[in-house]
A and B are shown apart, each in its own frame.
Chain A
Amino acid sequence: MRRRVISSVLGGTALVVVAGVLVAFLSGQGQAQSDLVVELTERLTSTGIPVKDIVITRHKPVQLEIVLQSTSDTNVVAPDDPLFRHMTLRECVFFRKQYPDLNRIKIVVVNTRGEPIVWSEWSTERTIDPDPAWLKETNNADTAELLRKSILLHGMSLDALDVSSDSNGGQVLTVELSVQDVFSANKVVPKFIVGLGSLINSTNREQGTEIMMYRVYLVDVMGQPLLKYVRDIQLSRESWWQADNLTRDWFPHPPLSPQERGEGQ
């Protein structure tokens, strides 16, 4: 009888201990995930990304829904939104080095009425090539000077060319251009974008620069944006916004519908 009481007490105590450990573990994990959200929010907002909300949608592995606030009040994004989406993905991919449990993100852009304009679900487990650890220090002013001399503008005006350092290593090139109007832009944008890609690749390869990302902002004489483009070499991706009537001839695209061609059905 006594033995049975002792074993019951011991069994009960063990159960309480196990439950306690489990609760402590889970609350620790919960705390770690809350920290992840706080840290990621800080990281994104500090780079100017308009984060509206970050919600953990799954705990193991961690999946996040990141809501970005657009300035658009329609079902079409504002010119800066695609670049914000890209930077959000990039930051999350690099952030995964700190939080390997961060597995997948859904980025939702909402308009001023709170309606989703676009969403994308991506894995954060992506190849980063080259790895930041391989990048060496480079002089941004020298790189900018080098590119100012070699960039082919095809008649567009170069308003600014700047090279800065990325927080994840590497250099970031920003090129600001202007043209008379969209018709002038359509004649040169395809060859400019293709040419700039080749120039950056060869400059990195032959001149020892470490440009891992570049942005192109193109406006017309009235200052109206025609193109806001970013290419991320480390993640092998491009994101952009473009004016409706800007040419699509520099990237793959399906044929237009009979209505879009103005032919009716």
Chain B
Amino acid sequence: MKARYFAPRIVLVGVVLLASVLASTHEVLAQNWYAGNGRDNTYGIRANIQAPAGGIYLAQDGESNWVSTAYGDWIQAGWRYYVGYSVPRPYVEVVIGGSYDLDEYGTQSWGTAIEYRVEYDGSSTWNAYIDGTHRGGFGPHSVPRTVFALSEVHNNSANELNTQFSYVKYRNSSYNWVFFDQNKWIYDAPYSVTQSLYYQYRTYGP
């Protein structure tokens, strides 16, 4: 008789414990939030990424807004803004074969847009460009690749996001630049993205 009463209680306690463990695990693991769009089977990506006029509020750490290859190794270009920065800083980040590099190149003023681009050069090498200036060639990095043009908030979802992505294009197998044309939206709450056009959108939140 007692067992009948206890069994549901034990199950309930178990569920509550499991839920709290999962919640705490999620809390530890979910340190980054993404918003933006992507494209499969590409040979490059480019986008004009604006730094919002008037700046943004950061509660902790910071955020980055970038174009990048993905899935496995990656080559990424964009701007990032962390606590302690007065303005965003353009950067190129490369991870190949377990080797990580992150180079910052000057600053990007609030309210301005810069074109960031990473593209395949036909010989296992990908090149990164910031505002038309070549910032390095890296390899080996195969094709075709999935790419993303995303905002990424680091470690605190109270950080403000307000980034305009324009002219988001991918490079096809004929090496022509084409506007983003796939629904590969990502938006982790509390952040969101305007989804009227695949290649022109604003990421915002919380």
Contacts and interface: CB of A to CB of B under 8 A. Distances in A.
Mutual binders A and B: yes
Interface of A: 75-77, 81-82, 85-86, 106, 109, 116-123, 127, 186-187, 190, 194, 197-198, 201, 235-242, 247, 249-257, 259-260
A242 B150 CA distance: 24
Given A198-B83, A250-B154, A257-B70, 14 more contacts: A76-B97, A85-B99, A86-B101, A106-B137, A109-B97, A118-B97, A118-B99, A118-B138, A120-B136, A120-B138, A238-B100, A241-B98, A252-B152, A256-B71
A249 B100 contact: no
Given A194-B61, A257-B70, A257-B146, A77 B98 contact: yes
Nearest to B147: A254
B60 to A, nearest CB: 9
Contact of A251 (B93, B99, B146): B93
Given A249-B155, A254-B76, A254-B150, A109 B99 contact: yes
- Best-surrounded residue of B64, B74, B80, B139 (most CB of chain A within 10 A): B139
B31 A249 contact: yes
A264 to B, nearest CB: 14
A198 to B, nearest CB: 6
Contacts of A118: 96-97, 99, 138-140
B122 interface: no
Given A190-B31, A238-B102, A255 B97 contact: no
Nearest to B63: A252
Given A252-B78, A257-B72, A240 B100 contact: yes
A239 B140 contact: no
30 contacts: A76-B98, A81-B99, A82-B101, A109-B97, A109-B99, A117-B99, A118-B97, A118-B99, A118-B138, A118-B140, A120-B94, A120-B101, A120-B136, A120-B137, A121-B125, A121-B137, A186-B28, A190-B31, A194-B83, A198-B84, A236-B103, A247-B31, A252-B102, A252-B152, A254-B70, A254-B71, A254-B76, A254-B148, A255-B150, A257-B72
A236 B105 contact: yes
Question: Among the interface residues A116, A120, A197, A252, which one has the most CB atoms of the partner chain B within 10 A?
Answer: A252
Contacts of B95: 253
B136 A121 contact: yes
Interface of B: 28, 31-32, 34, 61, 64, 66, 68-72, 74, 76, 78, 80, 82-84, 89, 91, 93-106, 125, 134, 136-140, 146, 148, 150, 152, 154-155, 186
Contact of B93 (A82, A235, A236, A252): A252
A89 B47 CA distance: 29
